[in-house]
Amino acid sequence: MRFVLKTDYHRDSDLFRDRVQFSWYAALFIFVLCLPIVSGTYVESQLTTVFMWSIAGAGLMILVGYTGLISLGHAAFLSVGAYTHAIMLDLGVPFFVSIPLAMVLCSALGVVVSIAALRMTGIYLAIATLAFAMIVEKIVKNWSAVTGGNAGFKVAPPELFGWELNSTAYYYFCLLVLTLVMLCVSNLLRAPTGRAFIAVRDSEISAQAMGINLLKTKALAFAISAALTGLAGTLLAYQWHYLFPDSFSMLTSIQLLMLVIIGGLGSMSGVVFGAIFITLLPDGIATVREWLPDSIGNLPGLEPLTFGLLLILVLIFEPLGINGRWQKMRLFFSQFPLYRNKTLKRQKSFLRTERVH
């Protein structure tokens, strides 16, 4: 076990606990940086997908993991981001203009949704966001003059000053965006704004007593969340080349939610774990399909079934997700042989203020 000697209040605001932790992250970054040199295009494109899902997941994590609001409609922001970006590219707007514009549009949309949705909590909020996602899906489907409808919309390839980015360059581009997103989100979470989110998550009543404006804070969380998910959408548009309304269905929303829950609610590393999991899962299912007898292997519903089953199992057996498991493993080794099974068990508390609601 390492102990950190703090001699300065700034140490508590630092991103990394100590040099050792910083070195691990630096090593990971260098590894990811060098990977395309040795790996094939398959690994490269899979990792690019992981980066994109991580960005979208970071957006949803702020909402679900840090502000305690659930959303079943985040595919809508993905879709709005992707389509806005693709349409603007089509009009000849360069990507470094169209991506921020798509993000602004998404966050504005997020605020609009939040105004309608924030009078609700829990399951009602989930259903409201689901309804919103369906509305967006229908609009995209039927407004074919702009979105191309079911025929799809072709996305112009990524270009920078007349150079077309190849897949390796695009990999680095996504890595850069992900790094910036992770930095910004971590900054937010160690500053007053992020603390306000956490306060709203843990106790709305005492957040108010601390002078935090609930509606404003929730709307802000929605706006940031929608902007980041929209950003992921713009990147996905490049990756997919063609956009179809069905690419952003309810299943996508659930996949995103699954990403943050399986990754581990309330942690940014959980987002990356979840994104890796989500990216590898379809391939895993495809492999398993081949082993299974045809009668089961060819069932069309196998994928959603596996998603749902895994989500339930994680919620029952490891509510803190992959990140929680990872933390426990680290604790086990750092305290070996003194680790107790109940170390991280939460004490049930029945003493909440029921009188104020």
Partner 1 sequence: MFEVVRLSKHFGGVTAVHEVSFSVNEGEIFSIMGPNGAGKTTVLNLISRFYDVDEGTIQFAGEDITHAPPHEIARKGIARTFQNIELFERETVLQNLLIAQYIHRKTNIFSDLLFLPRVRRQEAQSRRFLEDIIDLLHLQRYREQQIHSLPFGVRKLVELARALCLKPKLLLLDEPSSGLNPEETEDLSFWIEDINKELGVTIVMVEHDMNLIGQVSNRVLVLASGRSIALGTPVEVKDHPDVISAYLGT
Contact positions vs partner 1 (CB under 8 A): 9-10, 12-13, 184, 187-188, 190-196, 198-199, 201-203, 205-214, 220, 266, 346-347, 349, 351-356
Closest CA to 279 of 42, 69, 70, 34: 42
For residue 132, the one-letter residue type is F
- C-alpha–C-alpha distance, residues 230 and 99, integer Å: 9
What is the helix (H) or strand (E) element at residue 203, kind and residue range? none
Triad 229, 233, 238: Cα angle to 5°: 155
In sequence order, what E strands does the chain have?
A: 153-154, 159-160, 163-164, 242-243
Q: How many CB atoms lie within 10 A of CB 254?
A: 18
Q: Is the bond preceding 337 in cis, omega lying within 30 degrees of 0?
A: yes
Kindly list the distances between the CA atom of residue 134 and the CA atoms of 74, 106, 156, 240, 307, in Å, as whole numbers in the listed order: 11, 16, 26, 21, 20
Kindly list the distances between the CA atom of residue 144 and the CA atoms of 108, 133, 188, in Å, as whole numbers in the listed order: 23, 18, 39
- C-alpha–C-alpha distance, residues 199 and 196, integer Å: 5
Q: Is 319 helix (H, G, I), strand (E, B) or coil?
A: coil
Q: Answer whether 273's CB lies under 8 Å from 322's CB.
A: yes
Closest CA to 56 of 103, 114, 123: 103
Closest CA to 225 of 67, 101, 118: 67
